[in-house]
Each structure stands twice: as structure tokens, then as C-alpha cells.
Amino acid sequence: MKETLLVFLFGMFWAGYSVAQEKLQQPVLRPGMVHSYEYIDLWKNEVTRTTGETVLSVDGKQASLEVVESRAGGNFMRRDRLDLLHLTMVRPRRSGPHQAIRFPIAIGDTWRWGFSVPYGQNSTVILTWDLSAKFVGWEDVTVPAGTFRSAKIEHIGHWRTSDGGEDRLIIEYWYAPDVGRFIKGREIHYRWRKIDIQEEFRLTKFQPAQEDAGRLQWKEKLEAAIKAKDWELLDKLTEEYALEIEREKQKK
């Protein structure tokens, strides 16, 4: 009963997630949120680059990001656009969006997607992806930023190039509603029936928007009380949380 109450109260405030919902909805990102990632070459088991992605503004189905990227050549800053329906960056040169996920989504949902894009900045060769995707279920996933309940999305298909290349492509993503982004992803590209590229990204840090920081603190307190089975403390915290909810409603 108390666990259900916790989920209900927290779900009222954390946009995009509720166990009572049949489908996962598009996340609501807020200005000031920061997601930091590391990208690992799994062949060499080494970090090839890192990014820090700060939400500047949100406009409908896209978010404007300031991305600071660090790699061997130095540090770079750029503005980017995040497609909130698929949680991938907008790339105008592609013939369609990279559908890493497709909101709203429920366990068992499947879809087919793909795109074509010039292979390289000045290349006349066209690269095409053709994949089938499925929301296979929930997993508890640990990354440097912590452990998160995550929706696992599997993609299986092929890549091909207009000059005759073709082989398999396997991609996995783990989406955590608690942070509104993917916390982990892995791509395996085959060439000549052998693994050619293996890359993984992991969330290393999540900084909520200032307005959400207090809600996260409440979540941690409530979860700690449940884990300790301290029902008296949980009752007290629940009452305090209910008062906080009323105060927030009055402010609006």
C-alpha cells in the first residue's frame, strides 16, 4: 500500500513516467537539465569522447541543447536539436529521423524504420539503414551516473551503401524515465560477416533542472524509508510531501 502511494505521489510530478500509464509518453525536458555521457570503443575498451548536453529551451517536439564535446583533438562546443519523439539528434541530411524509440510506447510495441544519408561530408556514396525495433521490457541498469529502471529497445537490421556494401546492424538502447533520456546505448556493425564497429555510450552524470531538484530529493527520502521498512518515517514523509504538493499547486 505504501509503495503504491509513493509511486502515485511521485508520478504526479515526474513528467513522462507513471506505472499507471499503459504507454510511456514523450519526456518533458526542462531548461537547465544536464546529461553527460561517455562513449566507449568496445574493441579497445577505452573512452573515445565525452559530452555534456545542457537543455537551453524546449519547443514542442524538439529541445535546443548546448553540447560540450571533449575528444583527443580538444574541446568543442555546438548547438544541437534533440528530437523528443525519438530522443536522437536532428540531422537534416538524413532522409528520415533516427527512431531509437517512438513515443508513446508500451511493452511489446514494434516498428520498422530507416533512413538514407550521404556517407561522409562530400561523398557521392549513400548509406542506408533498415531496421526493425521492439520494446522488449524493463531492466535495472547501472551506469556511472547510477542505477535506473530502464526500458530496453532492441533494433535488428542491415546497413548498405550504394557502392555495394551491406551487412548486419544491431543496436540496443536503455531509456530511463527518471532522467528523460537514454542512459545507455550499444551499436554493433558487421562487415563481411565479422564485427567491424562496437561502440557504447553511458550516462555519467545527470543534473536535474532547478525546479525538479527538490522532487528528486523527496524521491530519494521516500525510497530510503521503504527500503528500510521504516513505515513510521514513511507516514511522516508522505504527509510532508502531500503538504509540499499543495504548496506547489497554490504557487501555480
**Alpha helix ranges (H) inside the chain:** 2-13, 210-227, 231-251
Mean pLDDT, the chain, whole residue set: 85
Question: Residue 79: beta bridge partners?
Answer: 66
As a whole number of angstroms, the distance between CA 182 and CA 230 comes to: 33
- Band the pLDDT of 4: cuts 50, 70, 90: very low
**Domains recognised in the chain with CATH numbers:** 1-24+213-252 (no CATH), 31-207 (2.40.360.20)
**Which cell is 248 given?**
506547489
Give this prediction's pTM: 0.78
Length of the chain: 252
- Band the pLDDT of 7: cuts 50, 70, 90: very low
pLDDT (average), residues 21-45:
91
Amino acid at 50: T
First-to-final CA distance of the chain: 30
- DSSP-assigned states of every residue in 51-110: EEEEEEEEETTEEEEEEEEEETTEEEEEEEEEETTTTEE--TTSSS---SS-SSB-TT-E
In the chain, % of residues over pLDDT 90: 63
pLDDT, tens digit, 9 for 90 and up, residues 109-144: 999 999 999 987 667 899 999 999 999 999 999 999
Lowest mean pLDDT of 42-46, 145-149, 201-205, 213-217, name the range: 213-217
